[in-house]
Structure 1
């Protein structure tokens, strides 16, 4: 892989061909497989391929792959599986070009995760779930995650990239500091005699994770704001793996990839689950999704029938031959196998995650709640900058805006009101 400081000269002929083909986005061939061994029945998978961004055109398609690892029951995982995609799409402005749509996904994913969590709490569900949610559009991969169900990517060159964050308190110092600053406590189980054991947990509640959807019985500093990473894969392709902690507690990323090398996606998912269970036994639900992205197969061009000898042969004697040097240059040049990072953000602060501007053609979205998408009447919305002390560019009358209940949730997540105060009851707006 080329280093950042190196520049590869692209032949002019290649640039011209790209310009002519700019309207046609070459899409990868996507194959996938899934496998699971059940212990508690709390792992759920959501897969939806060939979704249409513009209804009826048959071209603007994208695919969604998601894994939900529930705890304290499967209700939160089930609710998230059924509602998260719709909540994300509702936060994307309409009438966007393809590039604008892809660029809007990171913000829409944040809004969709928070709305799903808020709606789940209104139903008084105490279960919770990790979420790793992937959208593939062309060669662009966008992953949003809360919890510890990791997602990895191996490029065709063999480089491994981590597309999710691990929100276990045991290994995430920043999250421990955020929780204690918001009023929570972090510590291990205590036997009563001063002896501590087990992983670090958040109290009250005793959850080992700092981010999830649900978990109403735990402090609101356990937030649903996802870490989001967006990358563009080269046309050489690659392999993606999304797995629950039942896999990652037993296998490293390298071991998971190596144990199924050369296998198709469906067989690979089964092999990874089998390897993980052999290492640690079936102590928890063990689930895996494997997605392969490969260059599309180009049809073999049909050869024209041979021409009869005659005038054509005579004329070909005087026809100018194409330059061998230019055709050779085009043949030798190929797209470098690189994974380009487009976006990465992991802040738990909504004022930082929802601050990106909408395109001008969608300014009307500023008069809707940036999280739950309800229409706001004049002077009804609360700016996400209302309580930001930093002056200058951030002004309290600037959008985006939140409705009152989403503002309450924002303040609770940031530790600005006591945990449990103002919890959403069924039927509240």
Structure 2
């Protein structure tokens, strides 16, 4: 029987996964059914696990588009730094405790896939190097803000210098760091990260979409002599439906590669974190996504505990959300990362 072209189990695009650590280091693109369901070796233990380990899973589909332009990057062992450099711990731990950071990225390309793919390959590496350049005297928040800002702009410069893509190609860039006590979000474009917390599924949007009709973005564009034209929704010069991105050099200075960075302390009530391209958010509200994700995560956790299985709830939820967005007639590529903040099982991409 022929494969359903809209089935998220059919890997139309590539998922970039990075696993690095003391014992092994690898970087590969997953592009087959077998690789898309590969399970990692399990949780990576970290001494900072104030609220327990995290699990994760992702799903992507080309959907109703002709080309897959979404990319995912997960670096589960991104960097390890002193807890004080990630905001300190909310529980009492020995002085000098090291905090492990996990990196999750979603990159939604437009005009082509080249910039999104390059971002998935490079941003986590460049941000780590930019953080190392900083100093303790800046304060930990400022140091991360500068690392993300300079990292995104450096990758944007590389796209042009290396001729990665024509000037009309660009990508959103959503990068989220998760430690035992903190969540740091850096966003450029209209991909989105949302945190869900508590039995009543409190919704906390970690990023604000960069849309041309956002009051501050509209003012910035007009100050630079640009215009926002309503053509199938507000667009910069009637072309781009976002006000920030990497690439898109033909739209400078109105479209900029500068991210907004936010900081949120983790809580023992945190359920999950969802990162997704607008293929999901265009057809589902934050609240709808949270209700579905948290309900399924709780069900899978209970089922896994009862059966003693190690299947990944996060992967199952990511798959379900992609299928649900398709049923709601999403017209775009769809990419979802689910980070289970009460994880009891291995991770899958």
Aligned length: 262
Residues of 2 paired with 1:117 and 1:24: CA distance? Answer: 33
Say if 1:49 and 1:64, in contact at 8 Å, map to a contact too: yes
Say if 2:70 and 2:116, in contact at 8 Å, map to a contact too: yes
Find the partner of 1:140 among 182, 202, 207. 182
Residues of 2 paired with 1:140 and 1:45: CA distance? Answer: 21
Residues of 2 paired with 1:235 and 1:228: CA distance? Answer: 23
1:82 aligns with 2:121: yes
Residues of 2 paired with 1:235 and 1:30: CA distance? Answer: 12
Match of 2:257 in 1: 224
Match of 2:337 in 1: 289
Shift of 1:152: 0.3
Say if 1:102 and 1:137, in contact at 8 Å, map to a contact too: no
Residues of 1 paired with 2:175 and 2:248: CA distance? Answer: 19
Find the partner of 1:47 among 70, 74, 89. 74
RMSD: 2.7
1:66-107: CA deviations, max 9, x gaps?
A: 00000000111011111111221122246977x965662122
Residues of 2 paired with 1:31 and 1:257: CA distance? Answer: 17
Say if 2:244 and 2:258, in contact at 8 Å, map to a contact too: yes
Say if 1:37 and 1:285, in contact at 8 Å, map to a contact too: yes
Match of 2:219 in 1: 177
Find the partner of 2:234 among 187, 200, 218. 200
Residues of 1 paired with 2:145 and 2:268: CA distance? Answer: 23
Residues of 1 paired with 2:49 and 2:326: CA distance? Answer: 41
Say if 2:48 and 2:98, in contact at 8 Å, map to a contact too: no
TM-score, normalization by structure 2: 0.69
Say if 2:188 and 2:258, in contact at 8 Å, map to a contact too: yes
Query: Closer, same or farther in 2 for the Cα pair 1:59/1:145, shift >3 Å?
Result: same
Find the partner of 1:31 among 55, 58, 65. 55
Shift of 1:269: 0.7
Residues of 2 paired with 1:24 and 1:34: CA distance? Answer: 24
Helix, strand or coil at the partner of 1:240? strand
Match of 1:159 in 2: 202
Query: Closer, same or farther in 2 for the Cα pair 1:150/1:119, shift >3 Å?
Result: same
Larger relative contact order (CA 8 Å, sep ≥ 6): 2
1:215 aligns with 2:248: yes
Shift of 1:141: 0.4
Helix, strand or coil at the partner of 1:271? helix
Match of 1:279 in 2: 328
Say if 2:236 and 2:254, in contact at 8 Å, map to a contact too: no
Q: Which runs of 4+ in 1 moved over 3 A?
A: 57-60, 93-97, 99-103
Bigger radius of gyration among the two: 1
Structure 2, unaligned stretches of length 5 or more? 1-46, 83-95, 298-312
Residues of 1 paired with 2:239 and 2:249: CA distance? Answer: 13
Match of 1:249 in 2: 282
Query: Closer, same or farther in 2 for the Cα pair 1:288/1:95, shift >3 Å?
Result: closer
